[in-house]
Structure 1
Amino acid sequence: MNFNQEKKATCKQVLLDSLINFKKDSTNLLTTDQYEYYQKWYYAVIHDILSFYKFYGDYSRLAQLVEPSITAREAQKAVKLLEKLGFVKRRCDGGYDCRFSGISAYAEGRELVLSSYAEKMMESAKYALGNLSSEERVISWAGFSVSGEVFQKIKEETRAFRKKIISMAQSDQNPDRAFHMNIQIFPVSRPDVPQESRGEK
């Protein structure tokens, strides 16, 4: 069974589920719960909301804070999953503390899971473009041509920018809204390879 040889998403989905069940005792394995965390876009959103919202069990209100809104049942399911994973902990007074724990994924399964999650977040960006005002979002784009060497430098700059944004968010003492940031840089052409490199004469 070779995960990397499967090209179709549907085949990868079935194969990933098999990997989860087959090696579920491995310490570095993507567990079923962790896999489920990335299956619903609002699980991570609820996690972010609980970092600032004083939640005491009102799932209807919690669901309304999500953009776009989800159902109270979906919000409850998200909280239960986050609590099971250790991402949030219920206090004795009924409130919740948000904990930030990394998710350890099985090496061959991580790419598929995160790619699927990225697709869902791009769909959320489309929603924001059509439903949120320009004061509530930042959406911009640019086209350019660069060498492979410069592209690697651009990737390094985007990583540094992402870290800076996260640092700003973590230092905010009074957050009141959850946000998500997508960064996509991808080629829209094939490289101009010299003819001799392609075996042409």
Structure 2
Amino acid sequence: MKSSKIALKDYLDFRTYIKEYIEYKNAHGEQLTNRSFAAAIGINSSSWLTTILNGKKGITDKTIGAISDFFKHTEWEREYFKLLVYFNQAKTVESRNDFFTQLKQLLLKKGYLAIRVLDNDQYEYYSKWYYSAVRSIIGMIAVSDDFERLARYVSPSITAAQAKKSIKLLVKLGLIEKDLRGNYSLTNSAISTGYNVKSLAVANFQRETMKLGIEAIDRYDSSIRDISSLSIGISEAGFQKITGMIAEFRKAIAEVANSDNDADRVYQVNFQVFPLSRVLNHDENEKL
């Protein structure tokens, strides 16, 4: 339960915000039930709020305005809440990126410089594929401030400026540190962000690495890459079994990498399983 005063600027999930707002009000003498909250914004249903909070339903612009009225939002809060809902309900990575940017700009416009909840540096780590590549290289060889040399190790190649920026970000995030000899080494720290930021950042990272996979067909000889594909017909149970197998295989690959004391290169390993058709009804007599 949230005991401190609720501040909308601290949230990147409108569902969590609504839930903790209600908990706060109830803890301070105002009795708000699911039904009374829904009724207050013009909805006659005792289960409506539950379906919203568990993500089964979204909310419309009309409901966004009604909630802002009930919460007595300022003009700035109304705009932030609306963008927050749009961000959470966006269907594509492009639109989520757009609303995320607007949220950051709105916070900066208000003077919230820290933007604590947005974790800008951590978000930045996933924005470029080569940040993780540089981090992996540092784990295998001695890397100093010779950014020209470091840039040459990365494939496809990056600039010395990009290599320098990578080092700067990795140091800032505590993922690497410089020793007394002037070389960088890995720390035991890991990236940790809120779910909404991390899920968006990882989606952006995956898009970049998938594009690298396409380019790798022409960029590298088949002797140093392995790219294959398979189109199959499966059930929901079959899909779940396959994703479980991939999860185990991913762990096995990580174990191989962790135990490889002679590592001398960085590889990207992608896994993709996605639909090529809608769910077919075997009882339907229709032509597809």
TM-score by length of 1: 0.88
For the residue of structure 2 that corresponds to 1:109, the secondary structure is helix
2:102 counterpart of 1:13: no
Residue 148 of structure 1 pairs with residue 236 of structure 2: yes
Paired residues in the alignment total 193
Conservation of the 8 A alpha-carbon contact between 2:175 and 2:186 = yes
Q: Alpha-carbon deviation of 1:102?
A: 2.2
Counterpart for residue 162 of structure 2: 74
2:202 counterpart of 1:114: yes
Report which of the two structures shows the higher radius of gyration computed on alpha carbons.
Answer: 2
Partner of 2:276: 188
TM-superposition CA deviations, 1:70-124 (whole Å, max 9, x none): 1011000001100110111100110111124321122222222111110000111
State the partner residue of 2:88: 4
Shift of 1:30: 4.5
Residues 128, 95 of structure 1: alpha-carbon distance in 2 compared, 3 angstrom cutoff: same
Identity of matched residues, %:
35
Question: Could you say which residue in structure 1 is the equivalent of 2:147?
Answer: 59
Q: Structure 1 131/146 Cα, relative in aligned 2: closer, same or farther at 3 Å?
A: same
Paired residue for 2:224, among 123, 136, 148?
A: 136
Give the Å deviation of 1:6.
Answer: 2.6
CA deviation after TM superposition for structure 1 residue 150, in Å: 1.2
Residue aligned with 1:135, SS: helix
- Alpha-carbon distance change, 41 to 4 in structure 1, aligned in 2, over 3 angstroms: same
Q: Deviations over 1:53-77 (max 9, x none)?
A: 2112211111011101110110000
What residue is the counterpart of 2:115 in the other structure? 24
Tell me the secondary structure at the aligned position of residue 182 of structure 1: coil
State whether structure 2 residue 125 is matched by structure 1 residue 37: yes
Q: Distance in 2 between matches of 1:8 and 1:125?
A: 21
Q: Does 1:102 align with 2:190?
A: yes
Q: CA deviation at 1:135?
A: 1.3
